[in-house]
Amino acid sequence: TSEAKLWQREVTTLRRQVQNLHHNNRQLLGEELSGTTVRDLQFLVNQVEMSLHSIRKRKEQVMAAEIHELNQKGLLVQKENIELDKKLSIAHEQN
């Protein structure tokens, strides 16, 4: 039927797309580069550089959030320390 042929074409198209994605992924990993033109190699370099930029930006965001969280925890520990010092002073005064 025509519907079955439509699905067969869809499957063929999707398989081709998956193969292309796998090939592109391998190239981004530095594999399967023989026969690649200078233009295509430059395109890969640009893609890797953009990806690296995004990764570094995300890393900076995560590290900044972690630093902020640690600073908040540090402030909390300082407050708790002050409260414990006060309690200790009161306990010494009572004895």
Q: For the chain, what's the residue count?
A: 95
Tens of pLDDT, residues 52-68: 999 999 999 999 999 99
Looking from the CA of 82 toward its CB, the CA atoms found within 13 Å total 5
pTM of the complete model: 0.68
In sign, the C-alpha dihedral spanning 76, 78, 81, 82 is negative
> Average pLDDT for residues 67-80, to the nearest whole number?
98
C-alpha span between 45 and 34 (Å, rounded): 15
Looking from the CA of 60 toward its CB, the CA atoms found within 13 Å total 6
Output the furthest CA–CA distance in the chain (Å, rounded). 96
> Average pLDDT for residues 15-43, to the nearest whole number?
96
**pLDDT for position 45:** 97
For residue 95, pLDDT over 90 is answered with no
Tens of pLDDT, residues 78-88: 999 999 999 99
Q: What percent of the chain has pLDDT over 90?
A: 97
C-alpha span between 62 and 6 (Å, rounded): 46
For residue 25, pLDDT over 90 is answered with yes
